[in-house]
Amino acid sequence: MKLAINVDHYATIREARRSTEPEPVLAALLAEQAGAEGIVCHIRSDRRHITERDLRHLRGTIKTTLNIEMAATEEMKAIAREIRPDVVSLVPERPEELTTEGGLDVITHQAHLGPHIRELQEAGIRVSIFVDPDTEQIAVCHKLGVDMIEINTGAYADAESEADRDKALEDIIRSARRGDELGLRIHAGHGLDYHNLQPILEIEEIEELSIGFSIVARSAIVGIDLAVREMVSLIS
């Protein structure tokens, strides 16, 4: 199973001070050196973290696959056509949300999504849809002609009881199988961390995981020893 790293939250740290560091593109290059096989980032309509500048730097620099998450709007489609990522992942977006809250409801929005997906594909971009683990939604993703789906693991990651977690895992397994039978490539992500990953790794149909927050959070902790030592050394 491949690992794709979402670098949004390096940009979140930068934007907390409207600063110039840390550079998400530098984190992306180091992630690739450490074994990541893809780089993911999410450009939001409020540009709260990743900006067009980041996209241009990432596109011009990384060696693996660039997957940009975005809403299915005209503004975002124009950005995709300019940047030409390898993959666009279509996600829903609610302005005040802390993070993507669920999969895109392709059943409700299929009339709008069909031409949107085709235009992206005609520009040479593979299209993925972030979708809840629901076989009816996945059947519509197939009908819409996407290249792959990313199954939302958020309900699994956030489950508060073992019973809820088992049910959420069953939903993911069933959805991955259905997507695979339909010939879709299967990715998964959201809320995955160092503790909840193992059962997901056992789902053979999943080709790639998209993980961001837990890795950025851990990097802030495991990196502090060196960061402090360097500053102490400068001071002394």
Please, which of residues 66-95 interact with ligand PXP by CB under 6 A? 69, 89, 91
Q: 117-132 burial by CB neighbour count: b if 16+ within 10 A, else e?
A: beebeeeebbbbbbbb
Q: Least Å distance between CB 187 and ligand PXP?
A: 8
| Residues 130-169: x where in contact with ligand PXP by CB under 6 A, - otherwise, as a string | x-------------------x-------------------
Between 199 and 229, CB nearer to ligand PXP = 199
| Residues 95-124: x where in contact with ligand PXP by CB under 6 A, - otherwise, as a string | ----xx------------------------
Between 9 and 178, CB nearer to ligand PXP = 9
Between 99 and 108, CB nearer to ligand PXP = 99
Q: Out of 9, 116, 187, 190, which one is annotated catalytic?
A: 190
Q: What is the set of active-site residues?
A: 42, 69, 190
Where does this chain bind ligand PXP (CB under 6 A)?
A: 6, 8, 42, 69, 89, 91, 99-100, 130, 150, 189-192, 210-214
